[in-house]
Amino acid sequence: MIPQTRTTRLAPSPTGGLHLGNARSFLLNWALGRKAGWSIRMRMDDLDTERCSVEAEETLLASLAWLGIDHDGPIIRQRATPAHHRMALERLSEAGLIFACDRSRRDLRAAAEALGAPHESGTNLVSTPAMRPEDRAAWGLQDGPLNHRLALEPGEEVVEDALLGTRSFDPLERFGDPILWTRRDTAAYHLASVVDDLERGVTDVVRGEDLLPSAALHQRLCRLLGADPPRWWHLPLMLDHQGRRLAKRDGDLTMSTLRQRGVPPERVIGLLARTSGVQETTEPMSIEDFVQALDVRALTEWARAESREGGYRLLPEELDWLERRTT
């Protein structure tokens, strides 16, 4: 049952600075929530202990506060809730859906290629039913530094996105049997994200379009755990003028760098408003005016148009304007 009070979450990963693309996603997420009266929670996706740091978290929070983005309640940290993640893993294991996997990425790639199967380009490489343990006694939770995977059934998962409309993905085809528990004895992204959203009563997830295929897997996970999935809102990505995704390596475009250069937050918000269809011209804008100007119908039209183009290309003259090199 979905609570009467809708809840969204801002879920940064404290591994680096907040660049313009992520800032736009957080701003739109926050503004949608404030306009509609949702509760807005702050969650640090900090399971990657090798890359996450206290310094990065402090920088992220300072950047969000500088823009005027706030949240309700205390900050939630994923690494602080391992018991919830483990309980969900055990439920899936009891249902006969979890198997241990000691193969390296190289092993999995070679096995997938030998079977003629595609493989995911991200963190986890594909595994197929033919690569699962033949002995059912080998399934379940095993001791030792092993990855544990979810055995998925093939089949399309229909994702109803509030902005981009109806999309369909086969999670097994996209992700293979995804890792849910890592050899470091921590939950992997897919499990932790789903469990934490369910535990906190998140009803609306607003994030970048690159994670749209993950919504299909997360829906499947929700149902396997006996829960309803949240509503999805996926935003077209912001690209550089060459069509490449902005990333944390783009240090010149982080909020902390722009702040150090004396760029006022109203100028950043104005650019983000222009690049998300909230205003037609590039003008400085307060965060209060951004919320007031945001219209879900117009945002939907903008999102679908930009998605068809593959994302919004940030033009050099827009960056010039941002840093006052042009008027």
Give the CA-trace dihedral at 33, 69, 12, 176, to 10 degrees. Answer: 20
Query: ∠67-70-258 over CA atoms, to 5°?
Result: 20
CA–CA gap between residue 59 and residue 264 (Å, rounded): 17
CA distance 318 to 233: 26
For the chain, what is the domain count? Answer: 1
- Residue burial 153-181, b: 16+ Cβ < 10 Å; e: rest: eeeebebebbbbeebebbbbbbbbbbbbb
Q: In the predicted model, what is the mean pLDDT of the chain?
A: 90
Name the H helices within the chain. Answer: 20-36, 54-67, 82-94, 105-114, 171-175, 189-199, 212-224, 255-260, 265-274, 287-293, 296-308, 316-322
Residue 224 domain-assigned (yes or no)? yes
Separation of alpha carbons 20 and 280, rounded Å: 18
Residue range 140-157: average pLDDT? 93
Q: Rounded to whole angstroms, how far apart are CA atoms 316 and 252?
A: 13
Q: What is the pTM of this model?
A: 0.90
Helices (H), ranges, 37-159: 54-67, 82-94, 105-114
Do 100 and 143 contact (CB within 8 A), yes or no? no
Per-residue pLDDT, 246: 77
> Could you tell me if residue 21 is inside a domain?
no
pLDDT of residue 252: 64
In a domain, 222, yes or no: yes
Q: Give the pLDDT confidence of 53-96 residue by residue, as tens digits.
A: 999 999 999 999 999 999 999 999 999 989 999 999 999 999 99
SS (H, E, C) 187-201: ECHHHHHHHHHHHCC
Coil/strand/helix, residue 89? helix
Q: Longest C-alpha distance within the chain, in Å? A: 69
Does 166 fall in a domain? yes
Spatial separation of the C-alpha atoms in residues 260 and 114, rounded to whole Å: 52
| Domain boundaries, position 151 | 81-235
Residue 282 covered by a domain: no
At residue 146, φ and ψ (nearest 5 deg) are: -125, 145
Do the domain assignments include residue 14?
A: no
Place 20 in a pLDDT band, splitting at 50, 70 and 90: very high
Helix (H, G, I), strand (E, B) or coil at 263: coil
Q: For residue 318, how many C-alpha atoms fall within 13 Å in the half-sphere facing its CB?
A: 20
Give pLDDT tens digits for 36-63.
999 999 999 999 988 999 999 999 999 9
Residue 160 lies in a domain: yes
* Residue 91 included in any domain: yes
Domain with residue 194: its CATH number is: 3.40.50.620
- The contacts of residue 257 (CB under 8 Å, 6+ apart) are 17, 251
